[in-house]
Chain A
Amino acid sequence: MKTLIFSLYICLMATVTVLVSSCKKDGDTTKPVITLIEPAEDDVLKIGGTVHFEMELEDDVALQSYKVNIHHNFDGHGHEKSDEETETVPFEYDNDKWDTDIAGKKNASIHHHEISIPENATPGDYHFMVYCTDAAGNEANVVVNVELSHEDNHDHDHDHEGEDDHDE
Chain B
Amino acid sequence: MRIGYLPAVCVLFCMLHVKAQETDSIRTLRLKEVDINDSYRQFVRRQSALEVDVIGSVFLRDHFTGNLVQALEHMPGIHSMDIGSGFSKPMIRGMGFNRISVTENGIKQEGQQWGADHGLETDAFNVERVIVRKGPASLLYGSDAMGGAIEIAHLPPPPENRIFGEAALLGKSVNSSIGESVMIGFKKDAWYAKIRYSGQDFGDYRIPADTVVYLTQLLPVYGRRLKNTAGFERDAALHAAYRKGAYLSQYSVSNVYQKTGFFAGAHGIPDASRLEDDGNPRDAGLPYSTVNHLKASARQQYTAGNLSVVLDAGYQNNHREEWSTFHTHYGTQPAPEHDPDKELVFSLQTYSLSAKLQWTPSPVWEHTAGWDMQYQQNRIAGYSFLLPEYWRFTGGLFWLTAWHPRSNLSVSGGVRYDEGRTDISAYTDGYLEAYLSKRGYTDETIAAFRWRSYPVNSRFGNWSGSLGIIWNPADEHWLKANLGRSFRLPGANELASNGVHHGTFRHEQGDPSLSSERGWQLDVSYACEHGGWSVSVSPFASWFGNYIYLKPSGKWSVLPHAGQIYRYTGVKALFAGGEIAGGIDFLRWFGYHASAEYVYTRNLDEQVALSFSPPASMRHALSWKGKHAQVETEWQCIAAQLRIAKNEDPTAGANLFHVRATACIPLGKIHADVSLSLNNLLNKKYYNHLSFYRKVEIPEPGRNFQILIKIPFKQNIK
Report A's interface with B, CB cutoff 8 A.
1, 5, 8-9, 12-13, 15-16, 19-20, 23-29, 31, 64-65, 67, 69, 71, 73, 76-80, 82, 89-90, 92, 94, 96, 127, 129, 131, 133, 135-139, 141-143
What are 22 residue pairs bridging A and B, where the CB atoms are less than 8 Å apart in the complex?
A9-B537, A12-B522, A12-B539, A12-B541, A19-B574, A20-B576, A23-B574, A23-B602, A29-B645, A64-B554, A71-B561, A78-B326, A79-B326, A80-B328, A94-B558, A96-B556, A127-B269, A131-B556, A133-B552, A133-B564, A139-B563, A141-B215
Interface members, chain B 513-555 (any A CB < 8 Å): 522, 524, 526, 537, 539, 541, 543, 551-554
Chain A residues positioned under 8 Å from B558 (CB to CB): 94
- Considering the complex, give the chain A residue whose CB is closest to the CB of B563: A131
A65 to B328, CA, bound (A): 27
Query: With A12-B541, A76-B271 given, is the CB distance from A25 to B607 under 8 Å?
Result: yes
B268 within 8 A of A: yes
Extra inter-chain contacts (11) besides given A28-B608, A65-B556, CB under 8 Å: A8-B524, A9-B537, A23-B607, A29-B608, A29-B645, A31-B647, A77-B327, A79-B335, A135-B554, A136-B606, A137-B564
Chain A residues positioned under 8 Å from B576 (CB to CB): 16, 19-20
A73 to B552, CA, bound (A): 28
Contact, CB under 8 Å: A138 / B607: no
Contact, CB under 8 Å: A137 / B607: no
Contact digits for B262-281, partner A, Cβ 8 Å, 1 yes 0 no: 00000011110110000000
A8 to B473, CA, bound (A): 15
A65 to B526, CA, bound (A): 52
Chain A residues positioned under 8 Å from B217 (CB to CB): 143
Which size class do B's interface residues fall under?
Answer: 35 or more
B149 within 8 A of A: no
Query: With A12-B541, A26-B607, A76-B271 given, is the CB distance from A141 to B563 under 8 Å?
Result: yes
Give 9 closest A-B pairs by Cβ, nearest first. Answer: A137-B552, A27-B607, A27-B608, A96-B556, A131-B563, A76-B271, A27-B606, A77-B327, A16-B576
| Least Cβ–Cβ distance between A13 and chain B, in angstroms | 7
Chain A residues positioned under 8 Å from B646 (CB to CB): 27-29, 136-138
Chain B residues positioned under 8 Å from A23 (CB to CB): 574, 602, 604, 607
A155 to B245, CA, bound (A): 89
- Considering the complex, give the chain A residue whose CB is closest to the CB of B330: A80
Report B's interface with A, CB cutoff 8 A.
215-217, 268-271, 273-274, 325-329, 331, 335, 439, 473, 479, 481, 522, 524, 526, 537, 539, 541, 543, 551-554, 556, 558, 560-561, 563-564, 574, 576, 600, 602-604, 606-609, 644-648
Contact, CB under 8 Å: A143 / B560: no
Which listed residue (A89, A94, A127, A137) contacts B551, Cβ 8 A? A137
Chain A residues positioned under 8 Å from B481 (CB to CB): 8
| Least Cβ–Cβ distance between A116 and chain B, in angstroms | 14
Query: With A29-B644, A73-B271 given, is the CB distance from A80 to B560 under 8 Å?
Result: no
Chain B residues positioned under 8 Å from A77 (CB to CB): 268-269, 271, 325, 327
A64 to B553, CA, bound (A): 11
Contact, CB under 8 Å: A8 / B479: yes
